[in-house]
Amino acid sequence: MKTQLTIFNTFSRRKEVFEPLNPPFVGMYVCGPTVYSDVHLGNCRTFITFDLVYRYLLHLGYRVRYVRNITDVGHLESDADEGEDKIAKKARLEQLEPMEIVQRYTNGFRQVMQQFNVLPPSVEPTATGHLMEQIEMVQKILDNGLAYEKNGSVYFDVARFVQQYPDYGKLSGKVVDDLLQETRDLKRQDEKNNPADFAIWMKASPEHLMRWKSPWSVGFPGWHLECSAMSTKYLGEQFDLHGGGMDLQFPHHENEIAQNVGCCGVAPVRYWMHGNMLTINGQKMSKSLGNSILPHELFSGQNSFMSQPYSPMTVRFFMLQTHYRSTLDFSDAALLAAEKGYKRLMNALQLLPELQHPGNTPPQMPDEDLAVQAACNALYDHMNDDFNTAMVLADLFELSGKINALYNKQLPPDALGLETFNRLQSVFPAFVQEVLGLADDTGAANNQLSDGLMSLILDIRAEARAKKDWPTSDLIRNRLNNLHIVVKDGKDGTTWTVE
C-alpha cells in the first residue's frame, strides 16, 4: 500500500517518495521533439507517459508548471559535433526556409498530441526563441573555467568538470574514465581537448543556414544547451521533475546536468524519469532505423504492419497497459485485444451515470461494497507506486464488472451502500478521463440527431417485438449491424453502440 506518491528516480535507481521543493508547486520539464520530421509512435509514447504524470500530479492537487520544449535548432545529424543540423538539412532538401520546416512539424506535432488527448504544457519554449539565454549560459560556463574556445566554437571541458563534480556519469551509469579514454576515431576531433568534451556553441560553416551572432563566432548553440537554459529560465536553478526517453539519458541528460552545474553550481533536477522504448518486431522504433510508424498511418490503417485502423484512444489505452519503464512491443494482435478492452471500459463509463441508488445507506451486499471500496483505494495505491497504470487498469476493470452487474440487475441496486456508490460514481470517471486521459472516441458519444433517430427506430422495433414479429425485429437489427451499430436487448429495454 502506497499512500504517498513514489517515483523511480533514474539518478538513484530507486523508488523515492515524491516531495516537491515548494509544495504545492511542482516544476516539471520534459524534452520535447526535434521538429525536423513527423513524430512517430515511439515519440508519442514518451509524451503520453509524461502527460499521465502531469495529469496525476494535477489530480493530486499540485500546481504544476509543465515545460516541454520544441527543439528547432542545434540538433546535429551525425557524429559528435560535426554533422549537419537536422533542420537545416531538411530545409535544404525540401528547398524551404528552416523556419518553414520548424513550423510545419510543430503544427503536426501539436495535432498528433491533441489526437492522443495529451494536455498542452504550461510553457512550450523553442530553442531559437532562447538564444540570449543560451549565449549567457555559455558565457557563465566559460567564466567558471569549465569550457574553452577553439576557432569560434566553445566546448565543455568534461575532464575539468569531473574534478569538482564526481557525479558526472552517474545518471547514465557511465564510468568517467571510460568516457575520457574513448579511443574511437571520430572525425574532426582535433578541436576538442578530450573526446568526452561536447560543444556548447558551434561556429557555423559558410553554407550553414541557421546562424546567430555571439561573442565567439557567428554560429549556433549545442544541442544539449537549450534544455539547460530553458529549464533554468522557467523552473529555476533547481526543480522537481525532469523526464524524457531513455535514449536521452546519455549524452543529452548527462550533459544537461553538467551544463547546469557548470553554470549555476547546483544539480538541477530532484527526480529524473525515463520512459522506455517502443519496439516493433522486437526492435526499437526509431527514425534512424526507418521502422517507425506514423500516428496517422496507424489511425487510417495505411501501413504495412496492421490489419486495420486503430483509434488514438485505443493506442493510448494500449500503451497504458504496459508500465512506462518496460519496453512495449507493437503488434496487430496486441492492439486488437487492446481495442476490445478499451471499448469495454468505455461501455462501463457510459453506463455509470445511468445507475440509480435507492438511497438507503447500509449495503445489502457487504462483500461487494468492500470490493468496490478496495478497488477505489487501489487506484490511488497503484498510481502512487511509480505510476503503475497496468494495475490501475486492472482496478478499473474490476469496477467495470460491478458497474455492468448493477446496470444489468445481476446485482441489486442497493448492493452497495450509498457512500460507496457515490464514491464509485466520482472516482471511476475521474481516473479514466482525468488521470488516464482516456476520452470516448467509440462513436457512442452521440449527437442529438442520431440519438433521436435511434430512439425512433428502436421504438418501432420494440413494437414489433411486442407483437412477436421477429422477422421485422431482426431485419432492423441486421440492417443496423450493417451500419456498424450493435443493438443489445437488455432487461430494461434496448441499448446500442457503434462498433
Of residues 215 and 493, the one with the C-beta less far from RNA: 493
Nearest to 8, CA basis, from 479, 471, 342, 388 = 388
* Of positions 213, 340, 467, 484, contacts RNA by CB under 7 A: 340
Residues facing 29 on adjacent strands:
67, 242
Stretch that binds RNA, among 114-122, 142-150, 293-301, 484-492 (CB under 7 A): 484-492
State the number of binding residues for RNA (CB under 7 A).
89
Q: 82 and 10 in contact (C-beta within 8 Å)?
A: no
| Minimum distance from residue 256 beta carbon to RNA (Å) | 11
Of residues 213 and 488, the one with the C-beta less far from RNA: 488
Per CB under 7 A, 134 contacts RNA: no
Of residues 68 and 361, the one with the C-beta less far from RNA: 68
Of residues 55 and 323, the one with the C-beta less far from RNA: 323
Stretch that binds RNA, among 18-26, 105-113, 114-122, 336-344 (CB under 7 A): 336-344
| Minimum distance from residue 212 beta carbon to RNA (Å) | 20
Q: 452 and 465 in contact (C-beta within 8 Å)?
A: no
* Of positions 360, 474, 475, 484, contacts RNA by CB under 7 A: 474
| Minimum distance from residue 440 beta carbon to RNA (Å) | 15
For 331, the grid coordinates are 503488434
Q: 490 and 475 in contact (C-beta within 8 Å)?
A: no
Cα separation, 441 vs 445, whole angstroms:
7
Instruction: Enumerate residues 6+ apart whose C-beta is below 8 A from 304.
Output: none
* Of positions 221, 245, 363, 437, contacts RNA by CB under 7 A: 245
* Of positions 123, 176, 391, 418, contacts RNA by CB under 7 A: 391
Of residues 143 and 178, the one with the C-beta less far from RNA: 178
Per CB under 7 A, 283 contacts RNA: yes
Strand 147-150 relative to strand 198-203: parallel, antiparallel, unpaired? unpaired
| Minimum distance from residue 136 beta carbon to RNA (Å) | 22
Stretch that binds RNA, among 57-65, 150-158, 279-287, 413-421 (CB under 7 A): 279-287
Nearest to 397, CA basis, from 356, 337, 442 = 337
Instruction: Enumerate residues 6+ apart whose C-beta is below 8 A from 494.
Output: 458, 461, 462, 487, 488
Nearest to 154, CA basis, from 31, 286, 259, 235 = 259
| Minimum distance from residue 415 beta carbon to RNA (Å) | 11
Q: Give the x-and-dash track for 79-98 against RNA (CB under 7 A).
A: xx--x--x------------
| Minimum distance from residue 302 beta carbon to RNA (Å) | 20
Q: Cell 558526472 belongs to which residue?
A: 168
Q: Which residues between 406 and 425 bind RNA (CB under 7 A)?
A: 407-408, 410
| Minimum distance from residue 252 beta carbon to RNA (Å) | 5
Of residues 349 and 487, the one with the C-beta less far from RNA: 487
Q: Which residues between 10 and 69 bind RNA (CB under 7 A)?
A: 13, 31, 33-34, 42-43, 45-46
Q: Which residues between 302 and 331 bind RNA (CB under 7 A)?
A: 321-323, 326-329, 331
| Minimum distance from residue 337 beta carbon to RNA (Å) | 4
Nearest to 90, CA basis, from 80, 107, 75, 79 = 75
* Of positions 123, 246, 267, 365, contacts RNA by CB under 7 A: 246
Per CB under 7 A, 442 contacts RNA: no
* Of positions 341, 413, 429, 443, contacts RNA by CB under 7 A: 341
Stretch that binds RNA, among 123-131, 132-140, 256-264, 403-411 (CB under 7 A): 403-411
Cα separation, 227 vs 126, whole angstroms:
10
* Of positions 104, 110, 208, 287, contacts RNA by CB under 7 A: 287
Cα separation, 202 vs 25, whole angstroms:
36
Of residues 183 and 448, the one with the C-beta less far from RNA: 183
Stretch that binds RNA, among 98-106, 249-257, 414-422, 451-459 (CB under 7 A): 249-257
- C-beta atoms surrounding 243 within 10 Å: 26
Of residues 360 and 408, the one with the C-beta less far from RNA: 408
Of residues 321 and 446, the one with the C-beta less far from RNA: 321
Q: Which residues between 140 and 169 bind RNA (CB under 7 A)?
A: none
Per CB under 7 A, 209 contacts RNA: no
